[in-house]
Amino acid sequence: MLASYMACSTDALLPSTEMEILNKELSLPSKPYNYANLNTPSFFNSQFVNIQNNTTTSNPITDWGATLGRVIYYDKLLSANKTIACASCHLQQFGFTDTAKLSTGFSGGFTGRHSMSLINATYYINGRFFWDERAATLEEQVLKPIQDSIEMGMTLDLLVSRMKNTTYYPILFKYAFGNSDINAERISKALAQFVRSIVSYNSKYDIGRSQATNHIENFSNFTAQENMGKKIFMTQTKVNCFGCHNTDVFVMDNPRNNGLYTTNTDVGIYKHTNNPIDIGKFKAPSLKNIALRKRFMHDGSLQSLEDVVNHYNFNIQANPNLDPHLQDRGTNKPYVMNLSPLEVEAVVAFLHTLTDEVIVKDPKYSSPFK
Ligand code: HEC
Ligand code: HEC
């Protein structure tokens, strides 16, 4: 069993008969794209980045597994009336999120929160998912939207039977998992593999970082304005952005409250921890490709990067659970950064260097459907 799994999950070429069947509806390469061994720059090998990786030994990425995940991700069969796919709310060209404040589900209902970017989801040390971290693993998370009554409105049994009735899934499951059995566990594993493969490493920041010895020094490929913004982001003592949006993959270490509101109507992670100190704490996705997004924060309440920086600059609210990074340790008052308009623009310019034009166009992350 293990041997056949290994044999099928490497980069086996598809025989032409199977290729012909797949080609009726899909455009897939006969040798799968590389998802398992991404050509990440050497600074990705630092302990700080590695420790964030939430890939489990029970579900390593294989090229065929992620290929199957890609097809499922773009397949409208996943929604009750076959109108939407995962990709409808997590669009590649916008950094795998939605431009709308709230996303529209299969029958016109709205999601309770703003969609999250999936870029670098693989890097989050505690491995929990959603703004409120209600899913303990990515494998658990990916099955939720399918069964959510607003998002896709399906049952897993119905999805499995729909998949069995296609020509392409039996072949794709065979290459991904060694035989053509289709079940919820395999759907979850394949989707999680595809999502974890969405790693960004081709932004201007990545190029500059590869040429530098550390993230603090000026990058030679940056403009003076971008370096100024980077310096504020990395080293400012009042409101240290990098203290929370941490490491070269720009992810958080833990959920936190960033003072959007004095009192939170959305209680965040408190919903599952039941600990009052957690009211209003949220996870934030990686900031890579943040400039491609149109809405920001769990409720999509902020509409531009200027608004985001100005939130931290002078609008942090005294929430009872406000993060210590955002308040004066003596008075407990929220920090006021006092950035000048030029400094605000510099931070915004720096955030634009996190845009990775390669990943948002790369065919291996785009729709395989004809
Ligand atoms: C109708 C829109 C919609 C659809 C369809 C949808 N999502 Fe989402 N997704 C969202 C929203 C909204 C959130 C944030 C919800 C929350 O935190 O309460 C989210 C969150 C996520 C997250 C959490 C990211 C993180 O860092 O914690 C992942 C992963 C994800 N979605 C993957 C998927 C996959 C895979 C599919 C298809 C099976 C899918 N989504 C379908 C709207 C959607
Ligand atoms: C206390 C930790 C902390 C600090 C310091 C911090 N942030 Fe955040 N940031 C968060 C949290 C938590 C969220 C998500 C909050 C929410 O949605 O309720 C967030 C969200 C964001 C988002 C929106 C992400 C998205 O996908 O919508 C951007 C952009 C951002 N922060 C930029 C910055 C910048 C720039 C700075 C420095 C000026 C900064 N942050 C400082 C914790 C922090």
Give nearest CA residue, ligand 1 atom 14: 115
| Residue 72 in contact with ligand 1 by CB distance below 6 A | no
311 Cα: distance to centroid of ligand 1 (angstroms): 25
d(CA 88, CA 276): 35
pLDDT digits (tens, 9 = 90+) for 108-138: 999 999 999 999 999 999 999 999 999 999 9
Q: Report pLDDT for 10.
A: 53
Q: Tell me, what amino acid is at 8?
A: C
| Residue 154 in contact with ligand 1 by CB distance below 6 A | no
32 Cα: distance to centroid of ligand 1 (angstroms): 25
d(CA 158, CA 301): 36
d(CA 127, CA 140): 11
| Residue 115 in contact with ligand 1 by CB distance below 6 A | yes
- Geometric angle at alpha carbon 166, from 163 and 167, rounded to 5°: 135
**Among 259, 252, 215, 244, which Cα is nearest to 353's?**
215
117 Cα: distance to centroid of ligand 2 (angstroms): 13
Residues 6 or more apart from 206 whose CB is under 8 A from it?
Answer: 41, 200, 248, 356
Q: Report pLDDT for 131.
A: 98
pLDDT digits (tens, 9 = 90+) for 294-324: 999 999 999 999 999 999 999 999 999 999 9
d(CA 350, CA 333): 27
Kindly give the parts of the chain with pLDDT less than 50. 1-9
Q: Report pLDDT for 95.
A: 97
Q: Give phi and psi for 269, each to the nearest 5.
A: -70, -15
- Token pair, residue 325, equals 């990074």
| Residue 122 in contact with ligand 1 by CB distance below 6 A | no
Q: Report pLDDT for 14.
A: 85
